[in-house]
Structure 1
Amino acid sequence: MVRHDGRTVQTGPGGLGRRGVRGRDRRRGGARRRALAVGARPDLGGPGAARRRDRGHLRGRGRPRRRLGLAGERRRPRRAGVPGRRARRPDHGRRVTTPEGSPARGAGATVEFHGAREGEATLTWGQRLIWRAVHLMGDSQSFLNCPWVLPVYGRRDLATVLDTLRVLIERHETLRTTFHGTPDGPVQRVRRDGRLTVDLVEAGEERALRVAERISGELSTTAFVHDRELPLRCAAVLKAGRPMALALTFSHLAVDFQALSLLSEEWKVLLRGEEPPPADWHPMDQAALEREESFQARSARSIRYWRAVLEEAPLDVFDHPPGAPEDPRFIEVGMESVALAAAAETLAERWTISTTSVLLGACATVLATVSGRTKAVMQLVHSNRRDPRTRTMIGNVGQDGLFVLDPPSEGFADACREAHRAAFTAYRNAHYDPFAMQAMREDIGRRRGREPDLDAFFNDRRTIGTWPGVPRPAAGEIAGESLADLTAKTRTYVTNAWPGVRFKAFFTVGAATDTGQLSLIADTAYLPLETARAMLLGVEALLVRALDEDVPLAAVPRVCGVGPYAGTV
């Protein structure tokens, strides 16, 4: 029985953890579209500004975002979407304390954890990348926080849900790690024992998942105190006292996007009462591995590649000087397009490359067009999980690769094929010690007068390379409509805005499976809002036109509706 009188609930032998969980599971799977205002390609902006946070991956440097968007539109943190089923829970043998009184905002439960190991180690290379970003941003580092929602599958009681959270924390050392600056450099310190306070929030008449999404965003607006605070915050969202979801935010020092996806899958397994595979590789192990000679040699190879590129790369993303910025200066413009997804899948199959390479080639081509150049230089966010030991590790190993698109011919098809090859080159050279990399970049800056500006990025956040919810076009049509006609149903909107982040242009492919999501963070001193919007629509137009012809690169401005931007509107 779950107690709400402030007493401890025993989940060991003879307690709740030994009992079967009964009740019918409710299916909550499948991707859900955002609620958008009716109308094709509506004007950007609109009423209903609200603070939101939903990035699970390193994006840059900034402050808590102010959300701007169409009335009724919501941007959701990612969550798992596979239903649970009836199961018996294993005996975990630990305690969960629940508070006195009915669940309400401000009430809290305490989860006690007792891990298998404690210790101290240097940071992994992925953690070093974030450590530097955290200290560059200072008070604005909350930009890096990672909101996440874990739905509760089936009819689970509060003690069961909190006990499952405890198991996650005990299994994965990164979730009980603090991060400290020392005279010898930053270190991670893993706790063996501790407590996590979980807020309890009654959803009332609202949908519980929507409440969880909102709360996870709210939890993300405050920067973590990394040397004193566990790298996660949590609230349990309840309906009539029954837990429906956990709203969380994580420090990006502790997790990357892939780690969050892995946690979601493990959460389902644990709720079913099953035992997941052992968690036997942790950030402390990875940090030790990266100090070995073979990994240091890999880092040196990557840094040599970057040096060769940076010795000749343009010093700026754009040649034109900054103009008067809009307010707020930094915005994220989003687009949802079924035509984009269908065209990308068709072209990827035709050209025998990935949909990521098709989208990357299109984004880089449009960026080069707007910058008035034939070549594009961008950073690619890369998961860096090719090593079998890191594929299932909960931690942060992601780093940035350096991508150069220099098309070998005058056709867009060859540009995308070259983007595919160049992306693999970038990925092969995306495993390095960020501290050594920064020393090299500073040396380049001394030689060239200043460091090259690399504030153009591309990130594909999908976990699969297709869109299962988008029908494959037959004879160039979906449900009797041509892809060109489907572009009339494309939605664009301003999804986020900030007073300060360090990006000129950042393309992100969203994780929706029933539409093509593409967004662009833009510095409006260089790319006004309408130019950013036109760039997204230009990517869509380029892919749709490429279905019928190999678009000459000289024709890209006409096809996309964007040309070289000179810094004036």
Structure 2
Amino acid sequence: MNDLKVCFSGSRSGRWPITVGQKNVLEWISPDLPGPADILSTMVRVPRGSTMDAVGAALGALIGRQEALRTLLRDGEQFVHASGTLVADVVEATGTGQDWFPPGRAFDPAADFPVRASVVTRSGSPFLVVLHVSHVAADLSAMTILRAELAALLAGRPLPVAAYHPADQAAYERTPAGQRRLEGSVRYWARQMAEKPLCALGMPFRFPGARGHHHVLLGSRPAAEALAHVAAKTGARPPAVVMAAFASLLTSWTGAPGCQLNCLCNNRFSPELRDYVGTVAQETIIPFSASPSFLRSASQTNAAALAAYKYGRYDPVRLSEAQGEAERARGMRCHRDVVVNNTTGHSHVILPSAGVEPGTGDRVFGAPAEFDIYRLDGKLGCGLGLDARLATADETAGILGGVERLIVAAADGDVDPAGFGVPPAERGPGWVRARSCWVDLAGVQAAADLALGLGVARIEVAGDELIAHVGRDTDVSAAAKAVLDAVLREGRHGVVTPSDYVRAAG
């Protein structure tokens, strides 16, 4: 293995505050071992006949024009460097493609420029450039931009000046207009968390000894054709139709009236962000309400997504504070239950030729339920992972296969989603509907016993409310706080605090 020394320089350097997008990534990025989303990668073919010097010049020009790639982050500020050097690995094309470009160790945002490169050669001549970029410097949309710009630079095509950078975004976010937008987003999400069920997947651990997730993939050409018809009928965007199909079958299985879909919003609706290299994508919550009409669900999901995307940029620290307030007011954790990843245009997943097949088994999941949309045109490609403690492999496959059947049926007319999934999961005795979600009555009793002592409180359900009966000498205020603290520490699905404390008579 040899090295290629890449020198770069840009027209601006200096120090600015970090953007909310950078702050958002710094909240979850791994400082030691890179997670599956910490480092983003892309590949660009080198034109035939190119020299190694030309590849180095193209890489240097790319880093020079994009400030995000020559920026360090520390102590709440971004430091844009005027110049520097990147040492790219040069790897001869032997073995498998995975051997050519391992992403390497985690980036240190305070010490490492957020870009690495490998040049793959054949018989000593460059034929492929691989970029690895820290998520603090780019999101998926930015990676698409970097891939296109590097291809143009390698081909010798001119590019317009890159006019908007993270420093400019940081300056905007501190203007009165930028502050109003960020504060408006936090108020919107605080209201959503105060009004919507915080536990969207209240399920018992039916298989407590199981580990990992059941993972299945779907490939369907008939569903892709049907999807276009359903989207035209409802006026909904195709991703919203697919999300509605999945959420309909998930809620039918869980017996819940709705759920919350945690989805990324690319936040590139403003003209200046269209070609912006930086990280602006942030997670939003799309509320879903089950309906016996799938076409209505698709339209409502599309409208809910558009509403959520209006507030897709926010300060993650302020939002975390608002979430904590909502949790204490509602007496339960804000569970990040159902994650939807729309990676159309970025996915390299090998889909089944038709129908549902088990996934490869090397996927890591962070939520109990994760639904992936890989492809929409020509073939509908989706993936589903369900926590193995909650579901069987057959249930997982049945829900994902139901997505295909539901969309195909809806192309011919409206249908009730309840007829396309799997039978509702059994919760067993002790699970009741209360406080807008499924509640494990025994789990709440155990939390109360842990907080107050065995037998101090007796938990029951009255209508839709959880009631705690306590002794006549019990300090109700202190008891309520102690139980709340125990519930929030445990953070288990289905365990919430009582809404009322009743003293024992006598």
TM-score (norm 1): 0.69
* 1:333 aligned residue (216, 220, 243): 216
Say whether residues 1:433 and 2:328 are aligned partners: no
Equivalent of 1:343 in 196, 208, 226: 226
1:563 and 2:453 aligned? no
Q: Deviations over 1:79-136 (max 9, x none)?
A: xxxxxxxxxxxxxxxxxxxxxxxxxxx321111111222222222222221111126x
Larger radius of gyration: 2
Q: Which residue in the other structure is 2:457 paired with?
A: none
What residue number does 2:354 align with?
489
Q: 1:147 and 2:41 equivalent?
A: yes
State the alpha-carbon separation in 1 of the partners of residues 208 and 279 from structure 2. Answer: 34
Partner residue of 2:3? 108
Is 1:201 aligned with 2:91? yes
1:301 alignment partner, SS class: helix
Contact kept in structure 2, 1:332 and 1:522, CA below 8 Å: yes
Structure 1 regions of 5+ residues with no counterpart?
1-105, 465-486
Partners of 1:359 and 1:302 lie apart in 2 by 26
Does 2:131 match 1:248? yes
1:121 has 2:121 as partner: no
Q: Distance in 2 between matches of 1:517 and 1:249?
A: 25
Matches within 5 A, 1:188-267: 188-204=78-94, 211=97, 214-216=99-101, 218-219=102-103, 222-267=105-150
Task: Please state if 1:165 is matched with 2:50.
Answer: no
After superposition, the Cα gap between the structure-2 partners of 1:420 and 1:160, relative to the gap in structure 1 and judged at 3 Å, is same
Cα RMSD (Å): 2.5
Letter in 2 for 1:191: H
Alpha-carbon contact 2:267-2:312 (below 8 Å) kept: yes
1:455 pairs with 2:337: yes
**Greater share of strand residues, 1 or 2?**
2
Q: Secondary structure at the match of 2:29?
A: helix
What is the CA-CA distance between 1:488 and the residue it aligns to?
8.8
Q: Which residue of 2 aligns with 1:312?
A: 195
Structure 1 residue 146, shift from structure 2 partner: 1.1
What secondary structure sits across from 2:359 in the alignment? strand
With over 3 angstroms needed to count, the CA separation of the structure-2 counterparts of 1:196 and 1:567, relative to structure 1, is farther
| Higher RCO, 1 vs 2 (CA within 8 Å, ≥6 residues apart) | 1
Structure 2 CA distance, aligned partners of 1:113 and 1:288?
25
Partner of 1:510: 374
Given that 2:190 and 2:319 are in contact with CA atoms closer than 8 Å, whether structure 1 keeps it comes out as no
Q: For residues 364 and 382 of structure 1, what CA distance do their matches in structure 2 show?
A: 18
Answer yes or no: is 1:417 the counterpart of 2:299.
Answer: yes
In structure 2, what is the equivalent of residue 24 of structure 1?
none
Task: Give secondary structure in 2 for the equivalent of 1:245.
Answer: strand
Structure 2's unaligned 5+ residue stretches are: 347-351, 430-506
Task: Report the secondary structure of 1:278's partner residue.
Answer: coil
8 Å CA contact 1:507–1:520 kept in 2: the answer is yes
1:153-192: CA deviation from partner (whole Å, max 9, x where unpaired): 3332221112111111000011111222x2xxx3222221
- Give the aligned partner of residue 490 of structure 2: none
Q: CA deviation at 1:316?
A: 2.1
Amino acid at match of 1:187: E
Distance 2:426 2:45 in 1: 45
User: In structure 1, how many angstroms separate the alpha carbons of the residues matched to 2:366 and 2:408?
Assistant: 32
Say if 1:233 and 1:495 are closer, same or farther in 2 by CA, change over 3 A: farther
